[in-house]
Structure 1
C-alpha cells in the first residue's frame, strides 16, 4: 500500500497538515491517588480498574508522581519479575492487596511513587508524547494544564490509535507537507513512497526547495516512523551553462 507516486496537482494548494494533539486522545476521567493512599488501596485500584499505573496528586490536584504495578510488586517480586506476564503481576497484586490492616504505614503512594512525574500538556502533539514515552521507558503520561493540575492521562494504547493509519493516508499528508516547502512545479517532480510508516522521498530538488525543512516536515506527520532521504540536487542550471562556465 502506498507505492511511489508523483505529487498530484491538487497539492498546489498550501493547506497545513493537521496534527493530532494529546488533548484529543487523552482520557479525562482519571483514576488517581493521594500521597497517603495506602498500599492496599493502591493494589485495589490497579486491579479493579485493570490499569498498570496511576498518578499521585496533592490537595491542589497537582501531579506529584506516578505509582505503577512495578512499584507495588518490587518488594515481593523476584529478580525474574520482568519476565512475568501481566496476569502473573495482577495475581501478585491481588495477594498483596489483602495485606493485614496493620501493614507498615510507610507503604503509601507517597513512599512508593516514582517522582517527579513526566507530564505533558493537552496541546502537545501525539507524536511528541509517543517519543517521550519511548525515551523515558514509560507507559503513561499524566496530562496537566498551564498550572500543572491533572486534567487527564494518556497511555501507549491511546497514542497507538493515531499511528494505526494506512500508508496512503500518511503519504497524502506528507505530500501536503512537502508542497509547503517549495514551488508547486518543483515539488511535483519529487516522488513519495510510504511502506509500513517509513517515508522515502526521492527526486531532484530545485534550489528553491528547502530540503532540510522538507524532511523535518515529513517527520512531523502523524504515523511516520522513519524517513529516508533520497533527494538529489537539481543540476539543470549548471548543465545549461556554456563550456567553461560563466
Structure 2
C-alpha cells in the first residue's frame, strides 16, 4: 500500500485544554500552568472555537501594571491597553482564532504558524468545533519515524515507481533520517526526480543521491 502524506489529524494532540468566554484571568493562568501550555482556545456552546488566549495576551496586564502611558501611546496601543485592563477570556482573547482543519497538510499548518506568529493552532472541523490542538513540536513528530520505515517508503514510493526496470540495482540506506540512494539506473534524466521525491517523503531529513546511469538489466 502506498504511504499517504501525514495530515494535522495524524500528529495533533486530541486532549484539549480550553476555557469558556467567561473564564477569569486567574483561572486561565492556572490552566496554562497546570497543563504546561502557552495558549488556550476559548470555546462556547458545543465546543465552537471563538478565540485564543495566549501568554502574550495575559502578560499585557503585567506590562502596564505600573506604567502610565501618554495620550499618543494610549491611542497607538488601544487594543493592548484594553486587554491589560480586562479579566475575562472573552475580552483577553485574540479573535477570530487562527485555526487549521484536521485534513490539512503539515506544511500548511507550519506556514499558518509562521505567517501568524503563533506556536499552536486549534484544529477544527467544518462546523468550527474543536477536535484537537497542533503545536510546533507536534509538526516535528514525523522526524521521529524509524529509519527502516523511511527506507521502505522510499523504496516503494520512489524507487519502484521511478525505476521499475532497474529497481533491483538501486540501494536505499537511511541513517538518522538521511536517505542515501546509490546504484545504477537506465535513465539519468530521472535521477533528479528520484532525489526530489525521496526528499518529499514524510520524516526524511535530507537526501544524498549517488545514483549513476549505466546499461544492463
Query: Same fold judged by TM-score > 0.5?
Result: yes
The aligned counterpart of 2:29 is 43
Which of 39, 49, 66 is the equivalent residue of 2:52?
Answer: 66
Backbone CA RMSD of aligned residues: 3.6
Unpaired segments of 5 or more residues in structure 2?
Answer: 65-82
Q: 1:72 and 1:126, CA in 2 relative to 1: closer, same or farther beyond 3 A?
A: same
Q: 1:107 and 1:171, CA in 2 relative to 1: closer, same or farther beyond 3 A?
A: same
The aligned counterpart of 2:75 is none
Q: 1:71 and 1:106, CA in 2 relative to 1: closer, same or farther beyond 3 A?
A: closer
Q: Which has the higher contact order (CA 8 A, sep 6+)?
A: 1
Contact map agreement 2:163 2:185 (CA 8 A) in 1: no
Superposed displacement of residue 231, structure 1 = 4.8
Contact map agreement 1:141 1:153 (CA 8 A) in 2: yes
More moved, 190-199 vs 139-148: 190-199
Superposed displacement of residue 174, structure 1 = 1.6
Matches of 1:187 and 1:77 in 2, distance apart? 63
Contact map agreement 2:159 2:170 (CA 8 A) in 1: no
The aligned counterpart of 2:167 is 187
Matches of 1:143 and 1:221 in 2, distance apart? 24
Matches of 1:156 and 1:146 in 2, distance apart? 23
Structure 2 counterpart SS, 1:31: coil
The Cα offsets for residues 44-94 of structure 1, whole Å up to 9 and x where unpaired, read as 22123332211123446333332222321244259xxxxxxxxxxxxxxxx
The Cα offsets for residues 155-175 of structure 1, whole Å up to 9 and x where unpaired, read as 334444442233233222222
Unpaired segments of 5 or more residues in structure 1?
Answer: 1-14, 79-102, 238-246
The aligned counterpart of 2:14 is 28
Q: 1:235 and 1:143, CA in 2 relative to 1: closer, same or farther beyond 3 A?
A: same
Matches of 1:218 and 1:194 in 2, distance apart? 11
Matches of 2:63 and 2:210 in 1, distance apart? 50
Structure 1 counterpart SS, 2:165: helix
Matches of 2:129 and 2:183 in 1, distance apart? 48
Contact map agreement 1:38 1:105 (CA 8 A) in 2: no
Matches of 2:111 and 2:143 in 1, distance apart? 12
The aligned counterpart of 2:118 is 138
Q: Which has the higher helix share?
A: 2
Which of 79, 100, 112 is the equivalent residue of 1:120?
Answer: 100
Q: In the alignment, does 2:201 pair up with 1:221?
A: yes
Contact map agreement 1:182 1:209 (CA 8 A) in 2: no
The aligned counterpart of 2:68 is none
